[in-house]
Each structure stands twice: as structure tokens, then as C-alpha cells.
A and B are shown apart, each in its own frame.
Chain A
């Protein structure tokens, strides 16, 4: 099946800093989503972005499907951004998502 790798595995930032999270995938995808899992375990949809660029407030994401990677940008980070960020992909014919191992982000005040 498709492989999804995320980097870095862990990231510690000071409040106000910017960061870039990366997701590499091993095959063509028709679905790519970024999620934030908060400390209580709830997964929150950030972006549905199988290709192109999207922005939502301090967050933006870019997927370059031909090169099989996606980037999540967090600007002016806040302590509430802490948690685990997952990239998940779906390929043709399989609607279930395959998750990467996640990036654990800690934003310190």
C-alpha cells in the first residue's frame, strides 16, 4: 500500500515562530488531508488539499502532487497550536485514509 512519511517527528517552537511540516507519499493520490489532533484526541480537519495551495488564517498548505509531497505552514504560532499534526492520503479506489506517523508540535509561551 501507499506509504506516508512526515517530518520532523517532533518540533518545539517559541510562541510567534513560524514552522513548516512536510508530508511525503509514495504513490499518486486523489485525496490528501491535514489534521490537527488536540490533546484530548479529537482530530480536526485543517485542509483537504490533493493539489494546489490553500490558506486559512495563520495556516496554509501546498501539495505538489507530481512530486508527491505536501507542506503545512504555521505562522505566528500560538500555544493552542500544540498537538499532533497528521497528513493522511487516499489513493484511487480506496476511500479510507492512510495516515502518516505525525509531527508532534509543542509551542512554548
Chain B
């Protein structure tokens, strides 16, 4: 149980375009989802926290107009990188917690974004 999927697993796009990444909880209802970013050989840094049906809370320094997060249902959250630039190239990972166990986070497999 507690499986989180992400789609796509990797994406290459041109500078200036937008990219949408999906995060799904497959066998539980995710009341809260988190989006992290990981640059090569570095740790995970939290970008934002989203609760179903409400606006995401962004970490300091993360542009909310650039990284649009939507958590429209209890099983799906999306991250849209708008007007992507090469410096946005990174590994994006989502995680989710359920209403029954709010302490354990289950992580998706990640999405590797390369902006040319």
C-alpha cells in the first residue's frame, strides 16, 4: 500500500514553454501533498505544501507564479513549471500523507526536467 506515482518520469522542453507534472496517490486519499526539488548531488528542498481544495503554501524564495500547484482532488496534485528556463532543470519529487497517518510521507519516483 501507500503508493505514489508521478508522470512523466522525465521530460525535455524548450526554454519558455510550460511543463505539467502530475502526482497521484494510487491506493489512499492524500489530504496533503508536498513538492520537493533536488539538484544533482544535493538534498531535497521543499518547494510547497498543498492541501486538497485549498491554495498551496510556498516556501520562501519559491515563485508561486512560476510554479503553479493545484490539488484538486484527494488523489491528484499537479505542478506546472511556467516559462521554464535552463535553471529550472532539476529532479522534482512529490510526497503525500493520508488523513489516517499524517506523519509518514510516501514519495513518488520523481520527474527529471531538462530545459534546453
Contact of B110 among A35, A42, A96, A102 (CB under 8 A): A42
* Chain B contact residues, CB within 8 Å of chain A: 32, 34, 36, 38, 42-46, 49, 91, 93, 95, 97, 102-107, 109-110, 112
Count, chain A residues at interface, CB 8 A: 22
Q: How far is the CA of A88 from the CA of B93 in the complex (A)?
A: 15
Q: How many angstroms from the CA of A88 to the CA of B102 in the assembled complex?
A: 15
Q: What residues on B are CB-neighbors of A96 within 8 Å? A: 34, 46, 49
Cα distance, A99 to B32, chains bound together (Å): 18
- Which residues of A come within 8 Å of B, CB atoms? 30-31, 33, 35, 40-43, 45, 48, 50, 86, 88, 90, 95-102
Kindly list chain B residues whose C-beta atoms are within 8 Å of the C-beta of A95.
32, 49, 97, 102-103
